[in-house]
A and B are shown apart, each in its own frame.
Chain A
Amino acid sequence: MLYVTQTALLLGCIYAIVSLALFISFRILNIADLTTDGCFVLGMAVSVSASVHGHPVLGLFLAMLAGCAAGAVTALLQTRCGVPAILAGIVTNTGLYTMNLMAMGWSSNINILKQETVYTLFRSTGIGGSWYNILLSFVIMALFMVIIRLFLATRLGLSVRATGDNPDMVAASSIDPRKTILIGLVIANSLTALAGALIGQMQKTADINGGTGIVVIGLACLIIGETVIGRGSLTRNIIACFIGNFVYRMIYAVILQTRIIPVDCLKLMTALIVALAIALPTIRENAALYRRIREEGHRNA
């Protein structure tokens, strides 16, 4: 059980960064950013490659920078070229496949053998004992959560938030919504790439298909978190990113251990969670309407 909880904590901390990215793009900017899957692998590829060449820490920064570039491409496609938001993400994602192969030296899989990673470097300091990788992941996650929370209260952060809330009002306040969308997506994708970078170094491997479905899982966790602790203030929403991922990884680990349901079914479950959670308000509304129609039908009969 301890092992299960540890794994869930570790993965929960890292994948919470993906949910944080989706919180920015999906919840704040109101854009379903499908760059996410490819961007996650991009982060992984860049950071593992850098580690193989002996630069694990630099690898994290390079991964984030690469994520920024990917986000910028998606943003520019939609704001300057009129490509619909969803399509812009898909287009970038497709292009990233090649970029990711390139980043891994044209192979579909690379491994860190004896070289250091940020995790092995941190372990050698002795801090955190056997919890070292959880501690490091948690600190990095918490750091970025705090930075994002502070950013969202700045003038620029307010502009980004208003862009998703009421774009007309943003332009009327002499802010260019094209710029705020760019800024939002650049930040979001740098976070996604960071998560990929950490997973890559933690598992000591990067795989060209390592990002499949990440966007849906990230959204599912975001929604699970919001359901568990409620959607209130920004701070609460940000913490929900971690809670959701932890809960999801716990469930995942339990299923993996007990095999109540075949592991292969997990993707389907995840998809169901997302579809249901997003559909729930509409379903509720329809149910209420249906009930009313039936009741009034009775009264009039």
Chain B
Amino acid sequence: MLDLIEVSKTFEPGTVNEKKALDRLSLHVDKGDFITIVGSNGAGKTTLFNAIAGNFLADRGRIVLNGQDITFLPVHQRSRQIGRLFQDPLKGTAPHMTIEENLALAYRRAGGKTSLFSRISSQDRRQFREALKELDMGLENRLTTPVGTLSGGQRQALTLLMATIVPPALLLLDEHTAALDPGAAEKIMALTEQIVSRDKVTCLMITHNLQQAVSIGNRTLMMENGRIILDISGEEHSRLTAEDLIRRFRETAGRSFDNDRILLSD
């Protein structure tokens, strides 16, 4: 369903700051996979997502999604099939626009169905309210509230809803609960699992929480120096513990795991 074939990306090539952020990275993702990705700071995890989402073009290699070669497609065309959440809850929403206006925009990913000059109808509003109710945050009664006045957790929940209101073929989550307080983080994580399993969304999730990495999803990747150095799935994944990950990292990379935000447990 998603294939990366020998994808490379070097930042500032030919300078002293040259950085090989992706190094001939290949990855095959099956439909319905929920993959967690861990790795130390600067390992290239976010860069991997940027390459998949189209924020820059890969220097080398091909990216194929659902049989379509998307290597050279711009962000806005890929986003029709790819939903994405960032660590920063401010990134996914327009602060000066209302909740319903943000949702209406997200709904444009559905394509052809809505005319460019149509306005938000009462039927749209009913649909938005229905969807917001699932978040269980009372947002369904605040359709005309500017998003900028919501809390970080509420904004991230809304962003999650916007990314999935039209179920994407692929969902990219980049430490999307890391900036939230523990309560909100737990809530967003539960919502994520609920939506992903309901819509059977194929999902890649970067996390610094090793406990989460082994307990959620069906496959775990570990990245280092722009490569995937560990890929655990199936039976082995279900027995995997956070301690295993740290041990396996030391064996493979020859040094201890360092991530300034690393968490062993919840």
Interface of A with B (CB < 8 Å)? 150-151, 153-156, 158-159, 161-162, 165-166, 168-177
Q: A173 CA to B117 CA in the complex, in Å?
A: 17
Q: Say what secondary structure dominates the interface of chain A.
A: helix
Which of B74, B109, B119 is A154 in contact with, Cβ under 8 Å? B119
Given the known A-B contacts A158-B105, A166-B93, A166-B94, are A174 and B118 also in contact in the complex, defined by CB atoms under 8 Å?
no
Tell me which of B19-27, B38-46, B77-85, B245-253 binds A. B77-85
Whether B104 pairs with A169 at a CB distance below 8 angstroms is no
Q: CB of B17 within 8 A of chain A?
A: no
Q: A174 CA to B82 CA in the complex, in Å?
A: 9
Whether A154 pairs with B95 at a CB distance below 8 angstroms is no
B interface, size bucket: 20 to 34
Task: Determine the chain B residues whose CB is within 8 A of the CB of A161 once the complex forms.
Answer: 94, 96-97, 101
Q: A165 CA to B119 CA in the complex, in Å?
A: 19
Q: A116 CA to B108 CA in the complex, in Å?
A: 47
Whether A171 pairs with B75 at a CB distance below 8 angstroms is yes
Whether B92 pairs with A154 at a CB distance below 8 angstroms is no
Which chain B residue has the least Cβ–Cβ distance from A168? B91
Whether A165 pairs with B117 at a CB distance below 8 angstroms is no
Whether B105 pairs with A159 at a CB distance below 8 angstroms is yes
Which chain A residue has the least Cβ–Cβ distance from B82? A172
Which of A153, A169, A171, A177 is B94 in contact with, Cβ under 8 Å? A169
Whether B94 pairs with A174 at a CB distance below 8 angstroms is no
A100 to chain B, nearest CB (A): 33
Which of B91, B96, B109, B116 is A173 in contact with, Cβ under 8 Å? B109
Q: A177 CA to B73 CA in the complex, in Å?
A: 15
25 contacts across the A-B interface (CB closer than 8 A): A150-B119, A151-B117, A155-B108, A155-B118, A155-B119, A156-B117, A161-B97, A161-B101, A162-B97, A162-B101, A165-B94, A165-B96, A166-B95, A169-B91, A169-B92, A169-B105, A170-B105, A172-B92, A173-B76, A173-B109, A173-B162, A174-B77, A175-B76, A175-B108, A176-B76
B131 to chain A, nearest CB (A): 15
Whether A169 pairs with B93 at a CB distance below 8 angstroms is yes
Q: CB of B115 within 8 A of chain A?
A: yes
Task: Determine the chain B residues whose CB is within 8 A of the CB of A174 once the complex forms.
Answer: 76-77, 79-80, 108-109, 111
Q: CB of B63 within 8 A of chain A?
A: no
Task: Determine the chain A residues whose CB is within 8 A of the CB of B111 once the complex forms.
Answer: 174
